[in-house]
Amino acid sequence: MGSRDRNVVANQIFRVLRHRSRYDWWLAQAQLPPTPRGWVIIDQAVHAPTLFNASFTGGRYGARPLNGAEAQLALAVINNGLTPKDMPWYVRLEVPEWAAAELARSLGDQVEAEMEAMLHQAPLDLRANTLRIERDAAIAALAEEGIMGQPTKFSPLGIRVEGRPPLGSIQAFRDGMVEVQDEGSQLLASLVGAQAGMHVLDLCAGAGGKSLALSAMMGNRGRVSACDIYEAKIERARERMRRAGVQNARCRAITGTSDPWLKRHKWDFDRVLVDAPCSGTGTWRRNPDARWARKGTNLDEITEIQRSLLHRGSSLVVPGGRVIYGTCSVLMRENEDIIADFLKTHPDFFLVPASSVLPNVATGDFLKLTPAKHDTDGFFGAVMERRDDFVAEVAA
């Protein structure tokens, strides 16, 4: 296909992903199975009704003609619109059935506003890498290459750029002046409060986005240990660190929470960031397929992993040090409930109000970012500090 046709197809794929719940609802009303053909029929009826008849003509390039049930479906969508009044709220707002009750509990009377915000495409945010350049200079460097950007509202290092520029061909990106990182992720990294000279652990580092931010905050002084169970992600983190000029970070693939390296470093870190695996509900506007990729998401299994990671992360913190727990989820089961359980079973830790660390954005005990309120991805963050006077036997 040529570039124009590829763009048409790509745009249709993303539209289907962003409207899949509603498309499936219409197919169910017509007693048709949820198939790609059915999605395309509805998509064409909604977004290109004047070209609809020309799209299903058969032949070499055309889709096969509609049968009776498909034709009735298309006519019903054209006449009634994509979102009729009798459509349930969670269908209208593209919420998987497994998440509807949890979202309603977590977001209360803001659930529809937040889910509406999740339907829109996320902006592209960059973080100025202060090991290379200051934010204003980074914005100017991007502008010289035709990339327009503005300072983000909350993060002092964030740059929100216009459109979707090809970053791989931009010199400022290749030179490590900027990194791709949502403003919410930048703020979660800031919640760690990393300072020069500290020993900091990023326990679930992934491809190293937050580790890069932590190293920059520390001015390459001190130590950052970036760990993950996936070797491919760790290698990607190494590449990014080389480009960014990071010198105080080391990347390590671990086998899990019982890895011998972790056991050897008990009570060894001033800060431990546990950016735990989660349902990803906070990233739905950025990854519209994510809400459907985990049909029947088992929150019981996810929360058990989160508790285990937080417990292990807390065991590595020195007295007076802090463990920071974060997710890209807006569900209380993965956030406030995890913290409440942790504090009940770990009397050597107390909660540090997030508002005391990030007063410009956090308003209470926790950092709670959402698309509707902050125009970021959905993020949760909590800070727990180990008591200075805590005395206990070090386990073998």
pLDDT, residue 191, reads 98
3-state SS class at 342: helix
What is the β-pairing status of strands 178-180 and 249-253? unpaired
pLDDT, residue 297, reads 58
Of 87, 116, 132, the residue at which a domain comes to its end is: 87
Give the model's confidence band at 392: pLDDT under 50 very low, under 70 low, under 90 confident, else very high.
Answer: low
Domain for residue 116, yes or no? no
Cα–Cα distance, 158 to 129 (Å, whole number): 10
Residues 55 and 28 in one domain: yes
The model's pLDDT over 117-150, given as tens digits with 9 standing for 90+, comes to 999 989 999 999 999 999 999 999 999 999 999 9
Cα–Cα distance, 307 to 119 (Å, whole number): 30
Q: What is the CATH number of the domain that holds 159?
A: 3.30.70.1170
Count: domains in the chain:
3
Give the model's confidence band at 387: pLDDT under 50 very low, under 70 low, under 90 confident, else very high.
Answer: very high
Block residue for tokens 């070209």: 51
Domain range enclosing 137:
124-180
The model's pLDDT over 158-200, given as tens digits with 9 standing for 90+, comes to 999 998 898 889 999 999 999 999 999 999 999 999 999 999 9
Residues 69 and 214 in one domain: no
- Asked whether 341 and 307 are in contact (CB, 8 A), the reply is yes
Domain for residue 110, yes or no? no
Percent of the chain with pLDDT over 70: 97
Of 87, 111, 139, the residue at which a domain comes to its end is: 87
pLDDT, residue 394, reads 44
- Mean pLDDT for 99-124 is 94
pLDDT, residue 324, reads 98
- Asked whether 210 and 218 are in contact (CB, 8 A), the reply is no
Block residue for tokens 């937080």: 310
The residue length of the chain stands at 396
Residues 263 and 339 in one domain: yes
Q: Average pLDDT over the chain, rounded to whole?
A: 93
Residues 172 and 221 in one domain: no
Does the pLDDT at position 7 exceed 90?
A: no
pLDDT, residue 291, reads 86
Give the model's confidence band at 227: pLDDT under 50 very low, under 70 low, under 90 confident, else very high.
Answer: very high
Q: Which of 338, 257, 253, 259 is nearest to 302 (CA)?
A: 338
Residues 274 and 363 in one domain: yes
Does the pLDDT at position 90 exceed 60?
A: yes
Residues 69 and 205 in one domain: no
Strand blocks (E) in 39-122: none
Does the pLDDT at position 391 exceed 70?
A: no
Q: What is the CATH number of the domain that holds 351?
A: 3.40.50.150
Residues 43 and 55 in one domain: yes
Residues 194 and 239 in one domain: yes
Percent of the chain with pLDDT over 90: 82
- C-alpha distances (whole Å) from 179 to each of 2, 216, 334, 390 are 31, 11, 28, 39
Cα–Cα distance, 100 to 86 (Å, whole number): 17
Domain for residue 204, yes or no? yes
Residues 131 and 83 in one domain: no
Does the pLDDT at position 266 exceed 60?
A: yes
- Mean pLDDT for 299-306 is 93
Characterize 44-68 residue by residue with b for buried, 16 or more Cβ atoms within 10 angstroms of its Cβ, and e for exposed: bbbeeeeebeeebeeeeeeeeebee
pLDDT, residue 232, reads 95
Residues in Cβ contact with 251 at an 8 Å cutoff, skipping those fewer than 6 apart: 205, 208, 211, 226, 227, 234, 235, 237, 238, 241
Of 36, 66, 87, the residue at which a domain comes to its end is: 87
Catalytic sites, residue numbers: 328
Does the pLDDT at position 85 exceed 80?
A: yes
Q: What is the helix (H) or strand (E) element at residue 250, kind and residue range?
A: strand 249-253
Residues 138 and 37 in one domain: no
Does the pLDDT at position 396 exceed 50?
A: no
- Asked whether 348 and 290 are in contact (CB, 8 A), the reply is no
Q: CB under 8 Å, gap of 24 or more: what pairs does 7-15 form? A: 12/40, 12/43, 14/288, 15/43, 15/47
Residues 227 and 154 in one domain: no
Residues 174 and 204 in one domain: no
pLDDT, residue 296, reads 47
pLDDT, residue 56, reads 87
Give the model's confidence band at 294: pLDDT under 50 very low, under 70 low, under 90 confident, else very high.
Answer: low
- Mean pLDDT for 356-376 is 96
- pTM: predicted TM-score of the whole model, two decimal places: 0.89
Domain for residue 98, yes or no? no
Cα–Cα distance, 93 to 112 (Å, whole number): 7
- Mean pLDDT for 251-263 is 93
Residues in Cβ contact with 341 at an 8 Å cutoff, skipping those fewer than 6 apart: 307
Domain for residue 288, yes or no? yes
List 349's β-bridge partners, or say none: 386
pLDDT, residue 306, reads 97
Cα–Cα distance, 227 to 237 (Å, whole number): 10
